[in-house]
A and B are shown apart, each in its own frame.
Chain A
Amino acid sequence: DAGITQSPRHKVTETGTPVTLRCHQTENHRYMYWYRQDPGHGLRLIHYSYGVKDTDKGEVSDGYSVSRSKTEDFLLTLESATSSQTSVYFCAISAGTGNLRTEAFFGQGTRLTVV
């Protein structure tokens, strides 16, 4: 899986609690992404990072925040989890220079259930 580790792999949490998912890479890639995958929606971008401390929103960013203090780690935080955030979350990384787009490599995913 291209040196990507997601933790935890499974989590059950209660509505209203904060949750943090971690993505760790060993590839030294500049770009990191968080996607969620839901039935009927495929993969949708939550947030992404283009460098340390450089992040931006994706199409479904409401209710989520991210941080990237080191090249290798990208954290996704649900400030107050809701049932609509029950999903499978995937982290991805990609290299690329200038305007050259390159493929993204994905982690194994985290199944999050909010009860």
Chain B
Amino acid sequence: GESVGLHLPTLSVQEGDNSIINCAYSNSASDYFIWYKQESGKGPQFIIDIRSNMDKRQGQRVTVLLNKTVKHLSLQIAATQPGDSAVYFCAEAGMDTGRRALTFGSGTRLQVQP
């Protein structure tokens, strides 16, 4: 697999704690947002998505919050586990005519301490 040594902001949490990863976006026309997880040596893996007509969406142990007023997205991971250690990216797609390509943030590294 492939990986990239990224100089990223890092969030370090204890196993069992809740994690909150934040993302700011700049395109006010964005209407679709995704969180991806990238483990070392792998491609990004879909975690959860949210559309702009929602402000909260929950999955299994994860919650995404969207605040369109301040263009802010967050990913909350409940009861963080060592397997959650990875780089997390937010991505957005804008209100263009069928492009459907995602614009990615620069990522946050989550380190879970046992």
Binding site for B on A (CB under 8 A): 1, 9, 31, 33, 35, 37-45, 48, 50, 56, 58, 88, 90, 92, 94, 96, 99, 101-111
Set of chain B residues within 8 Å of A45, measured between Cβ atoms? 101-103
Residue of B nearest to A47 (CB): B101
Q: Chain B interface residue count: which class?
A: 20 to 34
* A40 and B105 contacting across the interface, CB-CB below 8 Å: no
Least CB distance, B43 to chain A, in whole angstroms: 3
Residues of B near any A CB (own CB < 8 A): 1-7, 31-32, 34, 36, 42-46, 49, 51, 89, 91, 93, 98-107
Complex CA–CA separation, A94 to B103 (angstroms): 14
- Chain B residue nearest in CB terms to A9: B2
Tell me, rounded to whole Å, the shortest Cβ–Cβ distance linking A30 to chain B: 9
Q: Note all chain B residues with C-beta closer than 8 A to A111.
A: 2
Q: How far is the CA of A41 from the CA of B107 in the complex (A)?
A: 9
B89/A43 in contact, CB under 8 A? yes
Complex Cα gap A48–B103 (Å)? 13
* Cα distance A94–B46 in the bound complex, in angstroms: 12
User: Lowest 8 A-B CB distances belong to which pairs?
Assistant: A109-B2, A106-B43, A101-B32, A43-B104, A42-B106, A42-B104, A103-B46, A88-B2
Give A31 Cβ to nearest chain B Cβ, in Å: 6
A-B contact count (CB 8 A): 76
CA distance A42 to B4 in the complex (A): 9
28 example contacts (A-B, Cβ-Cβ < 8 A) are as follows A1-B43, A31-B100, A33-B101, A35-B104, A38-B4, A39-B5, A40-B6, A40-B7, A40-B106, A42-B89, A42-B104, A42-B105, A45-B101, A48-B101, A50-B100, A88-B2, A88-B4, A92-B43, A94-B100, A96-B100, A103-B34, A104-B46, A106-B43, A106-B45, A108-B1, A108-B2, A109-B1, A109-B43
Complex Cα distance A102/B7, Å? 29
Using A41-B106, A43-B89 as known contacts, list a sample of 18 further A-B pairs with CB atoms less than 8 Å apart, ordered by residue number in A: A1-B43, A33-B102, A37-B4, A42-B104, A42-B105, A42-B106, A43-B104, A44-B104, A45-B101, A48-B99, A58-B101, A88-B4, A102-B100, A104-B34, A104-B102, A107-B43, A109-B2, A110-B2
